Chain A
């Protein structure tokens, strides 16, 4: 009689939670001063616990967060991928120009150097901006999309206020048949709602096992529910 187990023994370390990178690119230019940057900070503070809650609903997935800020230059606000359980929000301040191209280029570079492969979940990238890029956005987008992970990512853009470069945000989203549109945040409650949705809905959709031909269509349906403005006050 053999003592050998009838199935392979799984060695420690052979199984692993899949990582889901959530990256924010946040506009901190001069036009964000005052109510807008305060609302953005409030929105991030409110969204992170909700993201944690979504992550806890999907314990097989390890959600990691990184934050890029851009004003006259683009630089990491939270540069190491940080487990959502350990995230503490540090307020952003505003001033300067809008180096969005450099921000996207750096994110593409970071994605290239991150762990990748078919078993890793596609990242979620949230871009929020209230203006027009002041650096070379074409070069930035080109470098961003040269990363396979950036192309595979779920990309959500939030247009803050009414003077936003929607064309650039749509190029960033590059949604098939333009099914996903930039979210519009024309006042503080809308911004909070949009950041919360952009943080949690794609993570929920991405971290649940879906293996479907088209993950974006479900998100697009979900996003339509956000369209009604929640306040008459407009930036």
Chain B
């Protein structure tokens, strides 16, 4: 059993107009050849002024995912600590970044607040990731974004329940005091039905579509493309333009998408 993965990102039209950087980040591995293990993740830094380092926060979220999930793939019996691991590693990386590049004077702690949230807030980001070894597939998410699994019978599903208790554009975030409690995760053992396709994306992708059915239809189409023996690399190469089209004609937000396919027909080996 082997996997191959890839991903891409496109800056949103509204970010270009407002002179903001692309505040999404992603990671996908392996991209060059198939491997029994894979990891994909996307992170979406919050967009408003209070989160003025969220592009860095998203990058650090990806780093935190890689570090935490690597350990959990090797020690799946410790899976219960995954939420705490991801948040602690992200907080450590944020503090290291602040050490190299201190927050502006007056931004260290907001008046009337006494928690470390004030130093983490500028870096606020979501995180959606999936990784698998030969024994276990782990899905994890904090905040908005999409995580879908595809199966041999053609079905597509979301393995994690939707967040509750939020209004409008609100999302849970790594920067919140109770971030570990907001991390959702699930471990799928090899003995259970095993997905053959995985897709993660930031909310700039799904919110561009007229409804969820239209988005899921596109996910189904991606699965069919990469499972039918089409060149995965050609799909990955075409992703940035596709994401730009989605953002420009829909959400206006940064749009980032990663996918992984199992038993990919390896044309380059």
Whether, in the assembled complex, A205 has its beta carbon less than 8 Å from a beta carbon of chain B, the answer is yes
Chain A neighbourhood of B14, CB < 8 A:
58, 60, 208-209
- Bound CA–CA A212/B172 (angstroms): 7
Jot down 21 A-B pairs with beta carbons below 8 A, ordered by A. A5-B238, A10-B242, A14-B218, A15-B250, A16-B208, A59-B252, A60-B13, A60-B249, A60-B251, A117-B212, A206-B169, A208-B18, A209-B14, A209-B254, A210-B46, A211-B169, A212-B169, A212-B170, A215-B48, A215-B170, A217-B50
Determine the residue in chain B with the shortest Cβ distance to A115.
B211
Whether, in the assembled complex, A13 has its beta carbon less than 8 Å from a beta carbon of chain B, the answer is yes
* From B239, B245, B250, contact of A17 by CB (8 A): B250
Query: Nearest Cβ in chain B — how far from A40, in angstroms?
Result: 27
B residues 41-56 near A (Cβ < 8 Å) are 44, 46-51
Query: Nearest Cβ in chain B — how far from A218, in angstroms?
Result: 5
- Bound CA–CA A178/B203 (angstroms): 29
Q: Which A residues lie at the B interface, using CB under 8 A?
A: 2, 4-8, 10, 13-18, 57-61, 117-119, 121-122, 151-154, 205-206, 208-215, 217-218
Whether, in the assembled complex, B222 has its beta carbon less than 8 Å from a beta carbon of chain A, the answer is yes
- Bound CA–CA A151/B168 (angstroms): 9
Contact B206 A119 (CB under 8 A): yes
Determine the residue in chain A with the shortest Cβ distance to B175.
A213
How many residues on chain B are close to A (CB under 8 Å)? 58
Best-buried of A4, A211, A213 by chain B (most CB within 10 Å): A211
Contact B252 A121 (CB under 8 A): no
Contact B176 A213 (CB under 8 A): yes
Query: Nearest Cβ in chain A — how far from B4, in angstroms?
Result: 14
Query: Nearest Cβ in chain B — how far from A168, in angstroms?
Result: 21
Give the top 10 A-B pairs by smallest Cβ distance, nearest first: A122-B168, A60-B252, A209-B253, A8-B221, A152-B167, A6-B234, A212-B46, A16-B210, A15-B250, A152-B168
Whether, in the assembled complex, B204 has its beta carbon less than 8 Å from a beta carbon of chain A, the answer is yes
* From A122, A211, A217, contact of B203 by CB (8 A): A211
Q: Which B residues lie at the A interface, using CB under 8 A?
A: 12-15, 17-18, 44, 46-51, 124, 126, 143-144, 167-173, 175-176, 203-204, 206-212, 214, 217-218, 221-222, 225, 230-231, 234-235, 237-239, 242, 245-246, 248-254
Best-buried of A2, A16, A119, A151 by chain B (most CB within 10 Å): A119
Contact A213 B124 (CB under 8 A): yes
- Bound CA–CA A6/B235 (angstroms): 5
* From B15, B46, B49, contact of A213 by CB (8 A): B46
Contact A7 B168 (CB under 8 A): no
Given contacts A8-B222, A218-B50, contact A209 B251 (CB under 8 A): yes
Determine the residue in chain B with the shortest Cβ distance to A122.
B168
Chain A neighbourhood of B18, CB < 8 A:
208
- Bound CA–CA A18/B17 (angstroms): 18
Contact B230 A209 (CB under 8 A): no
- Bound CA–CA A153/B170 (angstroms): 11
Determine the residue in chain B with the shortest Cβ distance to A17.
B250
Chain B neighbourhood of A6, CB < 8 A:
225, 230-231, 234-235, 237-238
Contact A7 B48 (CB under 8 A): no
